[in-house]
Structure 1
Amino acid sequence: MTDPASAPDLKPETGHVAEEAGRRSVNLGLLGRTPPFTKRQRRVFWIASTAGFFDQYDRALLSLALKQIQAGLKIAEAHLGAVLSVIRLGYLLALLMTPFADVFGRRRLLLYTVFGYTIFTGLIAIAPGERSFAAFEIIARAFAGAEAAIAMVIVAEEVDAANRGWAIGLLGAVSSMGYGLAAIVFAFINVIPYGWRGLYVIALVPLVLIIPLRRLLPESARFEKEKLEGLQPVKIWQPLVQLYSAYPGRLVMILSVAFLSSMGGNVSGFLFPKFLQETHHWSPGNVSSLFLFGGAFGILGSIVAGRLSDRYGRRVMGAAFTFLSPLLTIWMYTAPGWSIVPVWMLEIFFDIASGNILAAYSAELFPTSYRSTAGSALLVAGTTGGALGLFLEGVLFRFTGSHARAICYVTVFWIIAPAIILFFPETSGRELEDISPETT
């Protein structure tokens, strides 16, 4: 391989000098302003953001409509944690897809994943039983997970180093609006034809519309550069091998944080709407209003985290946000009455903020030749942690008889994660090639 030290410096806009005149920041209202993007960067950002949007919609829909789905498919209460755990394992399959993005290109795989996700989202809506529902969800999650990981890598590779955290944070905020759409349609679950099944059908309309839009997405400049220099992997298994051999210390640390955070965070998020309806006797409309308006505050956590991590560093801000999230989760499941609302808003703010910084790290700590694979490895770690958390919650529920108490016990593992983040290298403001040069 070419010595990375001898390779020319790469700026995101190499070959696009004429576009510098079009660099500008756009005001997005509640989401604030975008970084000062060039025309190319704006196009890449908005097309890439559609991937995470639908992943968030699907995840939110399963959580929000869990009570209705459970009743419709006749899932026993004691088996609920196991079913959710199995569905979460669908993200493991994303690791089999994302190496193709490191071998054949980010753009091509992003086009293919939207087709797969569209087909299986439609099948979810007509699933006849519990097993078929879980199977279709698993495959849809695989395509959605691969989409989201690749989209984040594309943005990280295209934007300027000084604004990378900001851009990734804004990407997370725009993607989280899928959660808002799910909250809006969930409020009408009792009037929409076919109930929860109709909510999955709604997702098909915008999915079909973005397929031609994806064709306008350019290939990553960094991927094209590595292809020209012969640094691009040529076999599908190479990115996986390189990922586990080049930077083992970084890999173990970031996967540990993702595993522990998801172990507590996923179970608390999945079961919270069900908890509100059954323990606090909230109506679907009240739950929807909380997630729509309170969630808007939480989405800002992604942008705030991006801006603060660019200014004060990923390591310090990541550890701080990750430390506050589990503490607020325990408080949230023990707070009385309506006091649960401000606690939940703060928890979702810090949870989204910490997740954004971890996502930025997954793109920054590893080289271009297997950066997409690294992103999906983070997803796999989070998936296994989340699945184990849901399984443990089911076991603890049998002993405690309380979902809230079981969730608080599982959340204790989450508190370990911030200590690991303090050992991460600092990446803010540095070019990707300086943070993670290619190894030979």
Structure 2
Amino acid sequence: MTSRYRHRRGHRSGRYRPVAGTARSCVDQDQRSSRPPWWRPGWLTAPVLSVSVLSIASGIAQFGVTTVIRDVAVVFGEVAGDGALDQLGLPATTLGIALALIRLSSLGSLPTAAMADRVGRRRVLLAAIAVGLTLTALSALAWGFWVFVVLVAMARPLLSAVNAIAGVIAAEETDSSGRAWALALIAAAYGFGAGIVAVGRGLLPGETSFRPVMAFSLVPLLLLPVLARRIREPAIAAGRVAATGLPGRVPRELIGRVLLLATLVGAIALATGPGFTYLFVYGEGVLGASPLLLSTLVLGAGPAGLFGILVGRFAADRFGRTVTAGVTMAATGLSVSFAYAGTTRELAIGYLLAITASSAFAPPTGALVAELVPTSVRATVAGWETVAGVVGAVIGLASFGVLADLTGGFAAAARWIGIGTAIIAIGFRFLPETRGRELDDPEGP
């Protein structure tokens, strides 16, 4: 009797440890203790919040390059005249090549994301964000234009992989009812990071310089040890059968659906790539819109994007992933076509509609990437989708200019690309619907 009393007292005081046969009860107790309180949504857990902060950091580092590239050109070049292009500091061709190289370097995100299927999501995520932020911060010390380009180009594939892996972890940490919410949070977090660096640069006193903007990446880097303690390997991934073969390899039976999904993700980038990039070139150079109006549109893109993400989340859970993705992709293409129809009013309306629709596209497609493939290749497939988006944007940028030259204007070019994107969106009809599907099978979607 005394022995039993001591046993029970030890159990209550926390000193009792079950033997191997009761390990399952210990795991169940662990899972119960990790559940969020009743007042907090089930998807809003510490791991999801932590990877969303890493997505903010990725947005700060990647969008920082966009905001300061002219500043870099002015520092290392020479303002030679009074013309608009003369104010760039370096030839426009040089800037174009540099931006293309930085964008194309994101193709390297595929092998990085694929490693997450081999050595673990958490390990690869933390390594990628640490090295990516370090390289970005080092670019603040660049002593030449091409040194800057090389450093940020080396950081870009790692930071792009962070976006992909963060989405995978968010998907695997949630059930079907909260998955679209978690993925919407990841997408919004990246946009928030981009907004931080854009606003922060505008608030800098005196002459704008690229150095403090790029050095700001040190702030999330210093927070990384704190965040790392809150990020865990998702349970479904911890029990996975590791992928084999070359990084990026997809099982033969999945190639069809992965290729179709990658094609669709790349196709929307055909429209968003030129549609968003040519905003200032077309608005100021062709329509004569004021810089203040275009800056107001960029500021308005933040609320429009957030509204789109919320709409995409709601529709993905209510109407289905494939339907929502197809409709929002078609709406994106048509909005880009409308934006370049020929007036400032149409540009403003079309641009904000395109931002809203393309943002609504993110939650359903993020859920499809997670739910269509098994755990062993989920991060690899997310990497392929990132690559498809990069390729689609590059092709869209190149073809937009060619079509504009061939047709004599931006309106016809936007119409061809926008309507083509809307037609390609029909391809979502050929993907299986995954709404309500749980990721509880370690080796099956």
TM-score range, shorter chain: 0.7 to 0.9
1:398-418 CA-to-partner distances (Å, cap 9, x unmatched) read 667866765555445423431
| Alpha-carbon distance change, 66 to 169 in structure 1, aligned in 2, over 3 angstroms | same
* 3-state SS of paired residue (2:60): helix
Tell me if 1:290 matches 2:297: yes
The CA deviation at 1:161 is 1.4
State the AA in 2 paired with 1:90. Answer: S
1:2-47 CA-to-partner distances (Å, cap 9, x unmatched) read xxxxxxxxxx98950233462433xxxxxxxxx434xxx5101111
Contact 1:56-1:179 within 8 A present in 2 as well: yes
Q: 1 CA distance for matches of 2:178 and 2:222?
A: 32
Q: CA RMSD in A?
A: 3.0
Tell me if 1:346 matches 2:353: yes
What is aligned with 1:172? 187
Tell me if 1:205 matches 2:219: yes
| Alpha-carbon distance change, 155 to 319 in structure 1, aligned in 2, over 3 angstroms | same
Aligned length, in residue pairs: 406
| Alpha-carbon distance change, 212 to 111 in structure 1, aligned in 2, over 3 angstroms | same
| Alpha-carbon distance change, 287 to 52 in structure 1, aligned in 2, over 3 angstroms | farther
What is aligned with 1:104? 119
State the AA in 1 paired with 2:236. Answer: R
What is aligned with 1:135? 150
Q: 2 CA distance for matches of 1:214 and 1:415?
A: 41
Tell me if 1:432 matches 2:439: yes
Contact 1:167-1:306 within 8 A present in 2 as well: no
Using structure 2 for the length normalisation, give the TM-score: 0.81
What is aligned with 1:216? 230
What is aligned with 1:232? 242
Range with bigger deviation, 68-77 or 167-176:
68-77
Q: 2 CA distance for matches of 1:421 and 1:132?
A: 42
Contact 1:81-1:394 within 8 A present in 2 as well: no
Map 1:364-379 to 2 at 5 A. 364-379=371-386
State the AA in 2 paired with 1:77. Answer: A
* 3-state SS of paired residue (2:242): coil
What is aligned with 1:256? 263
The CA deviation at 1:115 is 1.5
| Alpha-carbon distance change, 182 to 277 in structure 1, aligned in 2, over 3 angstroms | farther
* 3-state SS of paired residue (2:216): helix
Map 1:77-156 to 2 at 5 A. 77-78=92-93, 80-156=95-171
Q: 2 CA distance for matches of 1:399 and 1:133?
A: 35
Q: 2 CA distance for matches of 1:162 and 1:252?
A: 27
Q: 1 CA distance for matches of 2:211 and 2:387?
A: 28
Q: 1 CA distance for matches of 2:389 and 2:29?
A: 34
Tell me if 1:36 matches 2:58: no
Q: 2 CA distance for matches of 1:187 and 1:125?
A: 17
Unaligned runs of 5+ residues in structure 1 are 1-11, 26-34
The CA deviation at 1:117 is 1.1
The CA deviation at 1:144 is 0.7
- Higher Cα Rg, which structure: 2
What is aligned with 1:303? 310
Range with bigger deviation, 175-184 or 288-297:
288-297
| Alpha-carbon distance change, 194 to 61 in structure 1, aligned in 2, over 3 angstroms | same
| Alpha-carbon distance change, 332 to 106 in structure 1, aligned in 2, over 3 angstroms | same
Map 1:319-358 to 2 at 5 A. 319-338=326-345, 340-358=347-365
